[in-house]
Copies of this chain bind each other. A is one copy, B any other.
């Protein structure tokens, strides 16, 4: 490939990875467990050898599709409403692996005390490192690590 072709191919990869990253958060917003499962590596494999790894904010490491799926079931069961506003989205593709980092500005709500009312909404900030692998079906998540931002990070903006 020429340099221009390589740059174009890389841009196609980047777009595809960012679309896959977006699809994860959209599936979570929609409470669509099947869509979440489909985005993770190893969907459709009877024996799970995907090696997927997931760390939710404050959680220990979850390993394998069964544990990861169960965690999303648990989160969805305890979340009435969730919306992600992604900022600082950065993506680097290296061969068949892509690394995405982003800040998840989260607005979520619990169960309403009275039917028909809106439950209490809380805002939160999580930073995530999402790792993707290229498969014949497209880019799939290999690893997700999200963690709460507990410092203001203002020092970092001084640069």
Contacts and interface: CB of A to CB of B under 8 A. Distances in A.
Interface in A122-159: 127, 129, 131, 133, 142-143, 145-151, 153, 156, 159
A94 B96 contact: yes
A5 interface: no
29 contacts: A53-B99, A53-B129, A55-B129, A55-B147, A57-B147, A58-B148, A58-B150, A58-B151, A59-B149, A60-B149, A60-B153, A60-B156, A63-B101, A67-B156, A67-B159, A94-B96, A94-B133, A94-B142, A95-B95, A95-B96, A99-B131, A99-B142, A99-B143, A129-B129, A129-B131, A129-B143, A129-B145, A147-B147, A147-B148
Interface of A: 51, 53, 55, 57-63, 67, 88, 90, 92, 94-97, 99, 101, 103, 127, 129, 131, 133, 142-143, 145-151, 153, 156, 159
